[in-house]
Amino acid sequence: MEYGLDLEYSFNEFLKGFGLSSEIAHIIWLPLPMLLVLVAAVVGVLVTVWLERKISAAAQQRIGPEYAGALGVLQPIADGLKLLVKEDIIPAKADGILFTAGPILVLVPVILSWLIVPFGQNLLISNVGIGIFLWIALSSIQPIGLLMSGYASNNKYSLLGGLRAAAQSISYEIPLALSVLAIVLMTNSLSTVDIVNQQSGAGILSWNIWRQPVGFIVFWICALAECERLPFDLPEAEEELVAGYQTEYAGMKFALFYLGSYINLILSALLVSILYLGGWGFPIPVELIAKFLNLPINAPFIQVFTASIGIVMTVLKAYLLVFIAILLRWTTPRVRIDQLLDLGWKFLLPISLANLLITAGLKLAFPQFFGG
Amino acid sequence: MSIAITTQLICFTVLSLVVIIGALGVVLLESIVYSAFLLGGVFMSVAGLYLLLNASFVAAAQVLVYVGAVNVLIIFAIMLVNKKEDLKPINDIKSRRVISTSICLTLLSLLIRVDLTNVWSLSSPQNSIGEESTIRIGEHLFSDYLLPFEVASVLLLMAMIGAIVLARRDVMSKDISTGLPVDQELIEKSSEPLLTNKN
C-alpha cells in the first residue's frame, strides 16, 4: 500500500525544473529533513521543559513560571539562553578531553535515533531495513558517554553516578529489546513504517497495545529507566550523589546533558506510540472516513490533510505519554538501587521472556490476529 | 567520479585511519582507561566499515554487542578496580618488548600475505542482498548453522556458571563427596605481586 506524499520526489522534480542534475538535487535535499527533525526535537524539548515546570507546579499546588510570556511559555527559552552564556568550566584536576567528549557521546546517539521515527508513510528521514534495531543499538552507546563523564570529572559522586547509569542502562536494555522483539515477531519486519502499517487495519482496535499489554507496560517501565526519569533517576539522585555524573558540569556542557535527557524522553514517548499506539494512525481509519464522505483518497487535498492528521496524531500520542511520565516523576518516590536491579533482572526479564514465548505461540495458533 | 563513490572513498579512508590509529593507541597508551575508550572507538569504526559494505544488520549488531555490552563491561570493570597505584617495574622489559614486537610483526606479515594471495573479487557483484540480509542471516541460523549456534549458547552458559562459581565461593563451601571444607583460594600459580607496596 504505497500511498501518501513523496516530498523528496516532488522536491527533486522541482529543482530539475531549474536545470540541475538529479545528483545535485539529491545533495540539496539531503540536509533538509535532518534539519527539520533537529528543529522539531529542540522545539519538542522546549515544550516538554515548559510542561514539566507547569505540571510539577500544579502537582505541588504552585503557579509555576508566569512572567516570561503568556503562561510562562518563554521560560524554557530563557533557561536555554542562560545556559548558553554561562562560563564553560573544566575543573582543574579533571581530564579535559574525556570531560568534553562525554556529553557529546551522550547526545549524539539520541539525536541519531530520530532517523527512524516516522510521522507518516513517507515522512521520515530514512526507512532503513533494520529500523527499530538501530535505535536499540544506538541507545547502547550512551552508557559509555556517562561512564566517560563520570570518570573524567575526578569526583567520587560523579564516578558513582556514572557507574550506576551504566548498570541501570545495561540491565533495562534486555527486557526492552525483548518486548520490541515480540512486536517484530508480529510484524515480520524491523522497519518502523511496517510496524505502524501492521496496526492500521481497524483503527484503534488493531493497535498493538491490545495484543501486547504486558509488552507495553514492560517497554514503558524500561524506557523510563533508560531515560533516567524518576522513579528510576538513581544516577543523579540528588540526596545521595549531589547530581551524579553531572555534578562538575556547567554551562553548555551541562545543557547538552539536559537536552539529551529530554530528547531521549520525547524519543521514547514517540517510539511507544509507534510500537504500541498505532503511530500516525487516527483512531478511526482515515480511508473509512474518506469513503464515508465519498472523497477520493488519492486527491492532493486529501493527501495533505491525512499527512497533517498523521503528524498531529503522532505528536499528540507522544505528548500524552510525556504527560504521564511527568506526572509519574512528581508523584512517585525513588526506588533503591537494589530494588531497581531486582525489578530489572528478577521481574521484568522473566516476564518479557514469557511474553515473547506466548506471542510466538499465539502467532502460530491465531496467525490472522498476531501476524502470519 | 560520481558523488556516491567519492563519499564512499572519503568514509572508507577516515574509518580505516580511525581503526588503525585507534588500535595502535589501545596497545601503546599507558593509561588503561584511555585504551578502553579507544577500543570503543575502534569497534564503532569497524561497524562503520560494515555499513559501507551494505551489511547494516551486522553493523548494528556490532555496535550493540561490542560497544554496548563488551566495551561497557570492560570500562565498568576498570572503573570499579581503578586504584591509582604504580605497577612494579619489570627487569627484562626491553627483551620482552623486542620479543612481543617481533611476534606481532610476524603475524602482520602473515596477514599481508593472505591479503595479497587471496582472490577477493566476488564472482557476481549483483549478488549483494542489502536489506534482505537480516532475513538471510535468520534463515541460516535456524537451518544449516543451527548446531554451531546452539553450541555457542552452551559455551556462554558454561562461562556464566563458571563466573558464578568463582564469584560466589560461599555456595560451594563443601566438597560434594567427602564433606570436607574446600580450599577457597584462587587456583592459580604462585607469582610475584604485580603492584608495588604502598608504603
ipTM of the complex: 0.81
With respect to residue A72, please indicate whether it lies within any of the assigned structural domains. Answer: no
pLDDT digits (tens, 9 = 90+) for A74-109: 888 888 888 888 888 888 887 888 888 889 988 999
pLDDT tens, residue by residue, A249-260? 888 888 888 888
**Whether pLDDT at A193 is above 80:** yes
Q: Do A148 and B37 touch (CB under 8 A)?
A: yes
Instruction: Tell me if A262 is assigned to some domain.
Output: yes
Say if B79 is an interface residue toward chain A (CB within 8 Å).
yes
Instruction: Name the β-bridge partners of B174.
Output: B181
**Structural domain includes residue A35:** no
More confident residue, A215 or A297: A215
Q: Is residue A273 part of a domain?
A: yes
Q: Which residues of B touch A27 (CB under 8 A)?
A: 3
- Of A22 and A43, the structure prediction assigns the larger pLDDT to A43
List of chain B residues whose C-beta atoms are within 8 Å of the C-beta of residue A155: none
How distant, in Å, are the alpha carbons of A222, A289, B152, B167 from that of A123?
27, 22, 41, 51
Which set of grid coordinates corresponds to residue A328? 509519574
CA-based R_g, chain B, Å: 23
**pLDDT interval class at B193 (50, 70, 90):** low
Interchain contact, A137 vs B131, CB within 8 Å: no
Residue A60 lies inside a defined structural domain of this protein: no
pTM beyond 0.80: the answer is yes
What is the identity of the amino acid at A211?
Answer: R
Residue A108 resides in a domain: yes
For chain A, what is the domain count?
1
Mean pLDDT, chain B, integer: 81
Least confident window among A5-9, A73-77, A250-254, B162-166: A5-9
Confidence class for position B173, pLDDT limits 50, 70, 90: low
Burial class (CB in 10 A: 0-12, 13-18, 19+), B84: exposed
Residues of B in contact with A170 (CB under 8 A): 68-69, 72-73
User: Which percentage of chain A shows pLDDT scores above 90?
Assistant: 10
Residue in A closest to B4 by C-alpha:
A23
Q: Identify whether A4 is part of a domain.
A: no
List Cβ neighbours of A245 (8 Å cut-off, separation of 6 or more).
A102, A146, A149, A150, A153, A158, A161, A162, A165, A235, A236, A257
Any idea which of A13-22, A345-354, B102-111 has the lowest mean pLDDT? Answer: A13-22
Which pLDDT value is given to residue A352?
92
The 10s digit of each residue's pLDDT in A321-370 is: 999 999 988 888 888 888 888 888 889 999 999 999 998 888 888 877 77
Residue A205 confidence (pLDDT) above 50: yes
CA distance A223 to A229: 9
Which residue segment(s) compose the domain that A280 sits in? 86-365
User: Is the pLDDT assigned to residue B104 strictly greater than 80?
Assistant: yes
Q: How confident is the model at residue B119 (pLDDT cuts 50, 70, 90)?
A: confident
Asked if the Cβ–Cβ distance from B75 to A27 is below 8 Å, we say no
